[in-house]
Structure 1
Amino acid sequence: MIVVGYLATREGRQGVTSALEEAIRRKIAVTVVVSEKSAKQAPEALTQRDEDLARIQAEAQDSGVALDVRIMSERHDVAEDLIAVAEETSAELIVIGLRRRSPVGKLILGSNAQRILLDSPCPVLAVKTERSATH
């Protein structure tokens, strides 16, 4: 089992894409964790989430990857949700997407990423998005 968090960002999409690629290589399933801090989300955000998850499910099905989606509402935070699901499923890998940072910013890892790396019960694959042509 591979556990990956869903975020409606470039980094989040890269994390999911990388998790699906890794699942194909390892011939294992993927659990996508959606952490929702509040039950009161804007309707357009929920529509975007549902469209993204439908696309992810279609990609997984086309690739022959078993996919489970868990919407974690009124829980803790992204890091705690990913770690809890990884422990519960005896995951062999957590995949997270990272933002590109400035040289100074590279000294400081995001708090969620740092907590996942330090507290994960299994290896963590941290992926960055492709650089755009303007960089």
Structure 2
Amino acid sequence: MPVIVGFVPTKEGRAALDAAVTEARSRGSRLLVVNASTGAASADNRYVDDEELTALRAELDASGLDYEISHAVHKKDPAEIIVELAEETHADLIVIGVRRRTPVGKLLLGSQAQKVLLDAECPVLAVKAPR
């Protein structure tokens, strides 16, 4: 059963990826990296470009882990994709990066992390980036 990580090219995404690699290695599990976009914006800065994807593959190759990268545009939001993939693969764990937000920001803005935390059937590890 795999470890799934929601990856975005931010410091929070890096922290989640690092934690997921550690978890996958300690569990002897496959790593599934999800980088998805709804395609709603013409330039979604959370969706990795070709250069970032090549660097990500090189980094994961060097880790020695068995891994797969899901990098696609979907009609569903990334949280739904991660939760569905976790259910389909009977994932051991989902790892997500969370960012610090103000109380007002938490109230007004939707959160992909919150959706994963509330909807996932398997354990979810929420990781903050170092300050």
Number of residue-to-residue matches in the alignment: 129
How far apart are residue 74 of structure 1 and its match? 2.7
CA RMSD, aligned part only?
A: 2.8
Query: What stretches of structure 1 of length at least 5 have no aligned partner?
Result: none
Q: Structure 1 residues 80 and 30, CA, compared in 2 at 3 Å: closer, same or farther? A: same
1:12: which partner in 2?
A: 13
Query: In structure 1, how many angstroms separate the alpha carbons of the residues matched to 2:98 and 2:61?
Result: 26
Larger radius of gyration: 1
1:91: which partner in 2?
A: 91
Query: What stretches of structure 2 of length at least 5 have no aligned partner?
Result: none
2:57: which partner in 1?
A: 57
Extract structure 1 runs of 4+ deviating beyond 4 A: 39-42, 105-110
User: Structure 1, residues 22-74: CA drift from partner, whole Å, max 9, x if none?
Assistant: 111111111111212118855xx6x9522222222222222211110112323
Q: Structure 1 residues 115 and 62, CA, compared in 2 at 3 Å: closer, same or farther? A: same
Query: In structure 1, how many angstroms separate the alpha carbons of the residues matched to 2:95 and 2:105?
Result: 19
Query: In structure 1, how many angstroms separate the alpha carbons of the residues matched to 2:111 and 2:34?
Result: 18
